[in-house]
Amino acid sequence: MDQVESSALAQALARMSAVLLSQESVATTVQLVTTLAERTIPGTAGAGVSLIDHQGKRTTAATDPLVRQADLLQYELGEGPCLTAWRDRVAVFIDDVDTERRWPAWTEAVAPLAVKSVLSTPMLVSDRSIGAIKVYSYQRHAYDQDSQQLLALFARQAAILLANAQSYQDAHQLTTQLKAAMTSRDLIGQAKGILIANGAADEQAAFAMLVNASQRTNTKLREVAHQLITDTALRHGMSRDLPQSTA
């Protein structure tokens, strides 16, 4: 690796490390990683990241339409270098698509895209392969062991970044759900108080009334409670500072 490449790699890693200190989304993270891979690995026409999870195979970032088209063909045909890298957890080289024989259906289908070289590396988190990062080139024999080492480095960093970004999103989602639950509890508590004040025998009876109304109108329980509170406040001229329902 020459001095220019080393400098570019150092800058790329610095940018990737900065993501750890911010609250980047998964989409932003993979877009950054693919852009840096394309710019850092010589001969690359396009780079992409494929994540394989419960939603299935999907390209979450691509620097060029070429990548999305080549990846989509892999997903449709169920074969190709990226899927092999992910499944077998190994780096996969294609020096010349025209003479490649491991994935005949895919190489035939991808021929009109003029792809000649491919390098794909798995992204591993602990003992799981969560996907693969890949680079495509219009040149034959575009990638070598140095390219593989660079992409492997990007793959390791990308896996860490994605795990961190996903953890942040999961935590944010959980916080949102907890806040919604607390709001629902408060709404239902206020609604029960109103019903008791209007003749319900006790909290259990008031709650049963709310449940019956929810079932009868096919409306979420918190929405029934919110509507009752709103109607009561409006009847008494207290429209300000009404509690807000969460969807």
Helix axes 145-197, 3-20, angle to 10 degrees: 10
Instruction: Give pTM, 2 decimals.
Output: 0.60
Structure confidence by residue, pLDDT tens digits, 167-221? 444 444 434 544 565 567 778 888 888 899 888 889 888 888 888 888 888 888 7
Altogether, the residues listed in the chain come to a count of: 247
Structure confidence by residue, pLDDT tens digits, 146-160? 999 889 988 887 787
Half-sphere exposure of 138 (CA within 13 A, CB side): 7
pLDDT at 37 over 50: yes
Check if the beta carbon of residue 158 is closer than 8 Å to that of residue 134: no
Q: What are the CA-CA distances from residue 213 to residues 58, 207, 208, 245 (Å)?
A: 43, 10, 9, 17
Q: Using alpha carbons only, what angle is made at residue 106 by residues 105 and 112, rounded to the nearest 5 degrees?
A: 110
Give the three-class secondary structure for 93. Answer: strand
Q: Which domains does the chain have, with CATH numbers?
A: 3-171 (3.30.450.40), 172-235 (1.10.10.10)
